[in-house]
Amino acid sequence: MDTSTIIWIIVGIVVVIAIVVVAVLMTSRRRREAQLESERRKANELRQNAYESDVARREREADAMQAKLESERLTRESAAHQADAQKLRTETDERLRKADEVDPDVARDEDAAHAEAATARADDRTAVQDERVADRDVRAEAHDEHLAAHDDRVVARDEQAAAQRDETVRDERVALDEDAAAAQQRRDTQTGRRI
């Protein structure tokens, strides 16, 4: 073998090595770019999930407030109905008393007994109605407490999920920053320049 053949073999080997190095560099850059793009997409998805969770939390708070307002409205309506019923009872008792006064068949001694009986009936009805109103108030208050407890649990769960998402996003940002710093520090082994 003469020297020109050896030189051509060496040149051929150098060309093959150069082609391999260029191919490796190009594919590593593409992989790095693909990885960065993948991490960007993941970070965007996490941000979108955090936004959707916040929207859901606000909707739940609005629903809870609406339920509370509805409960208060029903309590007010119940009190108004009770007042109307009491007024009608009083009017009915008064009409019955007047009818007894006008009726010649009703004995006058019975008037006093009848008035007492009517008063006792009215008192009994009022007591029963008061018990019902008190019972409704207790149920409404228990319902309001249940709604408040549920709202507190939902808010706590949403805050915990938001904190976890924030921590995950923070960790991913740190990882992306570290990868970017590492990529800047990489140098070409032959030239010593940064890649």
Return per-residue pLDDT of the chain as tens, 195 residues: 688 899 999 999 999 999 999 999 889 888 889 999 999 999 999 999 999 999 999 999 999 999 999 989 999 998 889 989 899 899 998 888 888 888 777 655 555 666 676 677 777 777 777 777 777 777 878 777 877 777 778 777 878 877 887 888 778 777 777 776 666 666 445 565 655
Terminal CA-CA length for the chain: 40
Query: What pLDDT is attached to residue 191?
Result: 60
Query: What pLDDT is attached to residue 177?
Result: 72
User: Helices 108-185 and 3-102 meet at what angle, rounded to 10?
Assistant: 170
Q: Is residue 190 part of a domain?
A: no
Q: Is residue 97 part of a domain?
A: yes
Which residues make Cβ contacts (< 8 Å) with residue 18, sequence separation at least 6? Answer: none
Domain count, the chain: 1
Q: Is residue 194 part of a domain?
A: no
Q: Is residue 114 part of a domain?
A: yes
Q: In this structure, are residues 108 and 162 in contact, taking their beta carbons and an 8 Å threshold?
A: no
Q: Is residue 73 part of a domain?
A: yes
What is the longest distance spanned by two Cα atoms in the chain? 153
Q: Which of 100, 96, 145, 98 is nearest to 121 (CA)?
A: 96
Domain limits at 179?
3-185
Q: Is residue 143 part of a domain?
A: yes
Q: What is the DSSP letter of 187?
A: B
Q: Is residue 192 part of a domain?
A: no
Phi and psi at residue 8, to the nearest 5°: -65, -35
Q: Is residue 17 part of a domain?
A: yes
Q: In whole angstroms, how far apart are CA 170 and each of 77, 91, 117? A: 52, 72, 78
Query: What pLDDT is attached to residue 153?
Result: 80
Phi and psi at residue 187, to the nearest 5°: -130, 150
pTM of this prediction?
Answer: 0.38
Tokens of 134: 């008190």
